[in-house]
């Protein structure tokens, strides 16, 4: 068994035939990639980028986290813990710090001193080391063990290993989390050690009409002209260690920070990104491509669009509502756009045909090499899983993208634990849980407008009833639909009037009573709880069987591919662990007769500018500076223009937002914030001809900080490359 795993991992980590610009690569592979990267223009060594014992580039790359969950990337740019990320990554924190009286989301904010910096409600992690724990996690298992028992053994081993690694840190464990990343669908396991800093403060942000210029219209599109950045600082205690917020904390002194380059770039120059890409599934089975393209993605698009339409109707009419719902609209809209593009791309017949051809080659290899005992049922497992998923897969989708996007219904979902506790009469834990839940109600309803939420519930009801098989829908919802002849707004108005979840004060009163019986009668709670129970009880066996089949098929399929092509290497799918992608600054041909340059300039801001527009407004001061070409040291030395954004052929996906774009000297030249529309389906396959990372030019960022924000003291804090 150990020999088999070792052979597999050697095959998976060989990079002899690697395309240099393809893939999101774990840092453990850098030594083997060094020569090819240097041939493309890198002046650093692998040790300069990733070292456990010495300062390296990885020490300047931050992982943004909320309650332990990663959501974006960033980079440290000063000796005092100053770091950059995207504006859309800092959006939620900026919104929380905004009020109608001090709307820093709309107006921008620049701290004149450290004393003026404002606490932000998230944490950051710094990767300290990576450890291969594959043998320990797979101990006692065989590749073709029965899947349920094997998965249970792997999960138990993983938990044991994780606990042992944490305990080995001694007193330092209070400041660390250790995630064990699953690579190659369970054929490799790497432990990631993160030191977590909890005192993060907002230092600066451009106005929203700079940081989000172009809105959803420009999202995932090129050319772009948004200055998508925000700036925060890490604070630590007197020993430079993580600490909870305290006014006496000091600016964190990082092991490494990135120098900022104002020299610019040319097409073909080396560029690499380092960050935390979320998820890719580049080995999705052909039936999975068909399911996603024809059913799952289109349904997500329709459901999100219905809710976004409600938000936008009210946001356009009221600036206070716009502030309240800005972050929610941005979160929904970003992936609505992506899912829309994926639905179109994945429905193209050539993608399905390519996967089908790969699968036929795999089946032939299995037969020719007499591997049926291990790999013989892979394709049948896939076929069975996706046939079932077509029947029941959307119920989870509608929980995530529908019910969970209604404030009252989401709170009702969370209150299900309170209800189950109140049902247990053997102790008073239920009443204690109800009291604790009540304490957080005001915060839960912080982003809440009654008119919007009533219409959102109507939209959710419509999609549940019109799109899903009624067999597993809540009986209460079906009765309501019959009573009101599927008038969904009338249905929503009815439950709204009768429910305590439509008003925070009414909900607190309900929770104070501590009565499971009264909660069970609440119409919003009843519908939501019945939906949840249907998923957990009626659908759970089917969904569990689907997941078991998919997990086994994917693990065996990747194992077989490594055996089929021992000299060929594909990058492991992204899994929210630090990855490096390298390539070059590069233009592209989007389609017939449409070619795009590799950079944009501030001229495009003037061309797109629409005063007072929801998406294309801009500060008058910025417009005047652009008209007067008042760019200072931030003008490009070759064109004399202020460059706004640029393209590179780096690999990118969600989670990479905020990643540094670094030149061959290890200097910061930009901040990655998006991919392009032509490669919108790249999570399912790398598209080298058209796939591009869209980044904001660091010189545009510096220009906004200095010339528009008047925060030259922050420029002075940074190290400008010579």
CB of 105 closer than 8 Å to CB of 94: yes
Give the span between the Cα atoms of 291 and 543, in whole angstroms: 15
Catalytic choice (56, 87, 88, 500): 88
Strand-pair category, 123-132 with 230-236 = unpaired
Structure tokens at 641: 């223009």
Nearest to 400 by CA among 335, 444, 447, 342: 335
Q: Of 228, 649, 651, 683, which residue is the catalytic one?
A: 228
- Bond before 565 cis per omega within 30 degrees: no
Record the tokens describing residue 631, joined without a space: 């760019």
Spatial distance between the Cα atoms of 133 and 154, rounded to a whole number of angstroms: 12
Closest CA to 677 of 287, 16, 222, 254: 222
Give the containing element (helix H, strand E) for 32. helix 30-39
Q: How many other C-beta atoms can be found within 10 angstroms of the C-beta atom of residue 608?
A: 18
The answer to whether the beta carbons of residues 81 and 251 sit under 8 Å apart is yes
Residue of 688, 650, 579 whose CA lies nearest to 29: 579
Residues 6+ apart with CB under 8 A from 226: 87, 210, 211, 212, 213, 214, 218, 644, 645, 673, 696
CA 120 – CA 251 distance, rounded (Å): 15
Token pair recorded at residue 567: 């000299």
Q: What angle do CA 698, 704, 707 make, to 5 degrees?
A: 125
Contact between 226 and 214 under an 8 Å Cβ cutoff? The reply is: yes
| 256 is a catalytic site residue | no
Q: Which of 534, 657, 659, 682 is catalytic?
A: 657
3-state secondary structure 386-398: HHHHHHHCHHHHH
Task: Report how many helices (DSSP H) and strands (DSSP E) the chain contains, helices first.
Answer: 31, 21
Tokens representing residue 568 in the block: 């060929």
Q: Is 46 helix (H, G, I), strand (E, B) or coil?
A: helix
Based on the residue annotation, tell me whether 712 is a catalytic residue of this protein.
Answer: no
Query: How far is it, in rounded angstroms, from Cα 694 to Cα 650?
Result: 9
Which one, of 232, 238, 213, 233, lies nearest residue 223 by Cα? 213
Six-digit token string for 284:
């999705």
- Specify whether 228 is catalytic: yes
Residue positions annotated with a catalytic role: 88, 228, 657
């Amino acid at each position: 068994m150990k020999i088999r795993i070792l052979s597999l991992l050697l095959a998976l980590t060989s990079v002899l035939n690697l395309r240099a610009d393809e893939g999101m690569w774990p840092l453990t592979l850098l030594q083997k990639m060094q020569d090819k990267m240097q041939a493309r223009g890198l002046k650093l060594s692998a040790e300069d980028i990733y070292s456990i014992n010495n300062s390296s580039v990885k020490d300047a790359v931050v992982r943004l986290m909320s309650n332990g969950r990663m959501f974006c990337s960033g980079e440290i740019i000063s000796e005092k813990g100053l770091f950059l990320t995207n504006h859309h990554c800092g959006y939620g924190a900026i919104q929380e710090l905004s009020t109608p009286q001090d709307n820093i989301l709309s107006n921008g904010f620049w701290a004149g001193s450290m004393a003026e910096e404002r606490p932000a409600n998230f944490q950051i992690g710094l990767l300290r080391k990576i450890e291969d724990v594959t043998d320990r996690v797979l101990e006692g298992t065989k590749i073709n063990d029965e899947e349920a028992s094997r998965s249970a053994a792997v999960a138990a081993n993983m938990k044991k290993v994780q606990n042992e690694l944490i305990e080995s840190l001694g007193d330092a464990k209070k400041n660390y989390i250790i995630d064990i990343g699953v690579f190659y669908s369970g054929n490799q396991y790497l432990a990631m050690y993160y030191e977590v800093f909890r005192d993060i403060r907002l230092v600066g942000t451009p106005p929203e009409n700079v940081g989000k210029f172009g809105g959803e219209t420009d999202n995932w599109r090129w050319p772009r002209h948004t200055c998508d950045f925000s700036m925060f600082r890490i604070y630590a205690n007197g020993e430079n260690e993580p600490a909870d917020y305290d006014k006496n904390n000091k600016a964190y002194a990082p092991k490494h920070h990135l120098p900022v380059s104002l020299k610019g770039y040319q097409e073909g120059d080396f560029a690499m990104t380092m960050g935390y890409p979320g998820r890719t599934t580049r080995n999705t089975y052909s039936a999975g491509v068909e399911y996603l393209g024809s059913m799952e993605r289109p349904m997500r698009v329709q459901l999100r669009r219905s809710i976004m339409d409600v938000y936008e109707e009210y946001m356009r009419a009221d600036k206070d509502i716009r502030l309240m719902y800005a972050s929610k609209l941005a979160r929904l809209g970003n992936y609505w756009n992506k899912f829309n593009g994926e639905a179109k791309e994945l429905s193209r017949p050539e993608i399905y045909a390519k996967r089908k051809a790969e699968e036929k080659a795999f089946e032939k290899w299995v037969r020719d090499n007499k591997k049926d005992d291990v790999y013989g049922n892979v394709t049948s497992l896939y076929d069975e899983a996706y046939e079932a998923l077509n029947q029941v897969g959307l119920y989870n989708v509608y929980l995530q993208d529908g019910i969970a996007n209604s404030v009252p219904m989401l709170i009702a979902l969370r209150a299900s634990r309170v209800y189950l506790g109140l049902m247990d009469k053997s102790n008073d834990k239920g009443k204690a849980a109800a009291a604790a839940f009540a304490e957080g109600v005001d915060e839960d309803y912080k982003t809440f407008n009654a008119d919007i939420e009533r219409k959102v519930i109507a939209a959710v009801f419509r999609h549940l009833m019109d799109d899903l098989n009624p067999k597993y829908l809540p009986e209460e919802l079906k009765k309501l639909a019959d009573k009101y002849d599927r008038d969904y707004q009338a249905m929503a108005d009815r439950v709204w009037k009768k429910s305590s979840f439509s008003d925070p004060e009414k909900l607190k009163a309900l929770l104070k009573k501590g009565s499971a019986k009264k909660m069970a009668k609440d119409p919003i709670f009843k519908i939501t709880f019945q939906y949840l129970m249907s998923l957990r009880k009626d659908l759970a066996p089917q969904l569990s069987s689907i997941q078991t089949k998919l997990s086994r098929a994917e693990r065996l399929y990747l194992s077989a591919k490594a055996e089929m092509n021992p000299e060929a290497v594909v990058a492991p799918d992204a899994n929210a662990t630090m990855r490096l992608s390298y390539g070059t600054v590069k233009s592209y041909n989007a389609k017939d007769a449409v070619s795009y340059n590799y950079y944009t300039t501030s001229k495009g801001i003037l061309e797109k500018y629409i005063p007072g527009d929801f998406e294309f407004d801009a500060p008058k001061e910025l417009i005047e500076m652009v008209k007067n070409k008042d760019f200072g040291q931030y003008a490009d030395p070759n064109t004399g223009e202020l460059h706004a954004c640029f393209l590179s052929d780096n690999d990118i996906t969600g989670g990479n937002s905020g990643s540094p774009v670094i030149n061959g000297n290890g200097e910061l030249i930009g901040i990655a914030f998006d991919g392009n529309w032509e490669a919108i389906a790249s999570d399912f396959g790398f598209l080298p001809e058209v796939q591009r990372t869209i980044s904001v030019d660091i010189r545009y960022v510096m220009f906004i900080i200095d010339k528009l924000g008047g925060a030259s003291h922050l420029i002075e804090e940074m190290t400008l490359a010579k």
